[in-house]
Structure 1
Amino acid sequence: MDGIERDAALGTGLDRGTGPRTAIDGAINGAINGAINGVIDGTIDGDSYEAAVREGALQRSLLPAAVAVRYDGATDRVLVILDTGVELAFAPWLVQGLGGAEADDLMEAEISPSGLGLHFPRLNADVYLPGLLEGVMGTKRWMALMRQAPPLWPSATTVK
């Protein structure tokens, strides 16, 4: 299990907020935490393992996964292609841990084995894609700071 998946499983990664996936996340996290705790104390049994495998398969079936990632320097965007065919592009400076990164740092992006995370080894930064798709760009504190920043684009009422 890589760092992104471990953080998601233990609830120590990005705050994914609330929504229809919260209950699913809770069920998945419970099964994974049980399996992880069993591995830590050496008491994992076959039933716990099988439950974690089933929950992992459920998670993979419900969430889109990355199949390709690259940085486009011309537009200053990280581009992610999902297994659904959807292409996602985001400005790296919006995401905690990627702001101020050099182009070379962003070009070395890796996809986690589950396809649910991106890792930027030169920055030691991880991005949880389901959270990103829900608009979560970092921790609660990061998101609060982003809300206090001036708007990125003019509102519809100010455009003439």
Structure 2
Amino acid sequence: MGELTQSQFDAAIERGAHDLATSPRARAARYDRDTGHIVIDLVNGATFAFPATLAQGLETASAEQLEAVEILGAGFGLHWEELDADLTVAGLLAGRFGSARYMAQRFGAAWDSEAAE
């Protein structure tokens, strides 16, 4: 692997700062037992919630397992260690609750054709 020039390093730092400033990221995440939703508080002040039963790996999880949600990295993802489940915040906000295969199997060909566009 070659050496990184100062200009390449500076450009990478700038790209990273841009991603942190513009990408959807979680500030906090929790499971709401009353509604059955995973609730994500975003760094921009917005809140997003979805039924846990929609997401790959969470469909049959217990409330205790769902409550063990962790925020990954700088808030780009959510993780459930015991369930071995990971979801990206950007994907969830775009309506992707799992892999392309999961989405096609769970939500049918209509989702698959929309994803291809």
In the superposition, the TM-score normalised over structure 1's length comes to: 0.61
User: As a proportion of its length, which structure holds more strand?
Assistant: 2
Shift of residue 114, structure 1, vs aligned partner: 1.3
| In structure 2, distance between residues paired with 1:140 and 1:70 | 25
Q: In the alignment, what sits opposite 2:33?
A: 73
3-state SS of 2:16 partner: helix
Deviations 1:11-32 (Å, cap 9, x if unpaired)?
Answer: xxxxxxxxxxxxxxxxxxxxxx
| In structure 2, distance between residues paired with 1:87 and 1:59 | 19
Q: What letter is aligned with 1:125?
A: A
- Are positions 1:110 and 2:81 aligned together? no
Shift of residue 147, structure 1, vs aligned partner: 2.2
Q: In the alignment, what sits opposite 1:158?
A: none
Indicate the structure whose relative CO is greater, using CA pairs within 8 Å and at least 6 residues apart.
1
Q: In the alignment, what sits opposite 1:36?
A: none
CA RMSD across the alignment? 1.8
How has the CA–CA distance of structure 1 residues 91 and 44 changed in structure 2, closer, same or farther, with 3 Å as cutoff? farther
The one of 135, 141, 156 aligned to 2:101:
141
The one of 31, 35, 52 aligned to 2:12:
52
| In structure 2, distance between residues paired with 1:110 and 1:44 | 35
How has the CA–CA distance of structure 1 residues 77 and 58 changed in structure 2, closer, same or farther, with 3 Å as cutoff? same
| In structure 2, distance between residues paired with 1:46 and 1:98 | 44
Once superposed, which parts of structure 1, at least 4 consecutive aligned residues long, lie more than 6 Å away?
none
Q: In the alignment, what sits opposite 2:45?
A: 85
In the superposition, the TM-score normalised over structure 2's length comes to: 0.82
Shift of residue 119, structure 1, vs aligned partner: 0.9
The alignment covers a number of residue pairs equal to 108
Q: What letter is aligned with 1:103?
A: A
